[in-house]
Amino acid sequence: MSYHHPFSDKPKAWKDYCHGTLSPWVMAYMWMEHKMEWLAYLLGNWKLVTVLGYLESFGVLIAVIFYFAESGDRLKQKHYQAWQVINSAQGKGGNGGRIEAVEELNADGIPLVGVDLSSAFLVGVQLPRANLARSDFSGADVREGVFLGATLDNANLRNANFRHVNLTGSSLQYSDLTESDFTEANLTRTDFYGAYLDHADLKDAEMRDLKWQDIKSIHGANITGVKHPPLGFVEWALKHGAIESKD
């Protein structure tokens, strides 16, 4: 980009510029305008102005280069701070910024394997396709959360509140869901291979295409009003200790 904009024509001499002007007010205005034209002409043809313009452009370029060069460090710092928020609140109630922290990490593709979110208040958390294998959600309140396609294998969900949670296409293989609450949760295509569902509340849960054949245990689980259960599931569950009760 060029910053050198020379004026090709010199401004007229004052006597030619104001020729024919009679009004003193107009003369004063024209005198000021004439001086500005000369100043613009001189600055426009001053090499230093051109040099300063190029230096400014060069400075912007250097700033852009440094910004992108340091982007990796800034990203690492952001992730470090997010993990600090999560780890400093382990086992504590409340949110403590953990919703934003886990969502941010997941959005950046960072695995959340083994994350401890026990007893956390995580209502409405959005963690689609998150890798939460061996995570701890025991006693956590995760109502209205979204875990589309998430991996929760070998996770601890004991006594967790997963009401109205969307777990479509998620995997909970070998996970412990004992006494957890999945009332009206969306369990479409959810994989419960080897999972423990003893005394879990599955009332009114959506179970279309649920992968249930290898559930480890379902004793005492409430399956009242389950929607679109796979063929044979209800009969198998009742035979293995599940209950249907409005209470």
Residue by residue, DSSP assigns 187-198 as: -TT-B-TT-B-T
Does the pLDDT value for residue 61 go beyond 80? no
**Domain hosting residue 132, numbered range:** 91-247
Tell me what pLDDT residue 1 has.
46
Residues 141 and 48 reside in one and the same domain: no
pLDDT at 57 > cutoff 80:
no
Residue 78 lies in a domain: no
Angle between helices 47-69 and 71-88 (to 10 degrees): 40
The pLDDT value recorded for residue 130 is: 97
Same-domain pairing of 56 and 129: no
Confidence at 18, pLDDT banded by 50, 70, 90: low
Mean pLDDT, all residues of the chain: 84
Look up residue 134 and give its amino acid.
Answer: R
- Rounded distance, CA 146 to CA 126, Å? 5
Residue 1 lies in a domain: no
Query: What CATH number did the domain enclosing 137 receive?
Result: 2.160.20.80
pLDDT value at 228 more than 90:
yes
Q: Taking phi first (over 0 means left), then psi (-120 to 50 degrees means alpha), and beta for anything else, what does residue 111 get?
A: beta
Same-domain pairing of 133 and 53: no
Number of structural domains, the chain?
A: 2
Mean pLDDT value across residues 125-145: 97
Mean pLDDT for 19-23 is 58
If asked whether residues 26 and 125 sit together in one domain, one would say no
Say yes or no: 175 and 96 in one domain. Answer: yes
Which tokens in the block code for residue 145?
């959360």
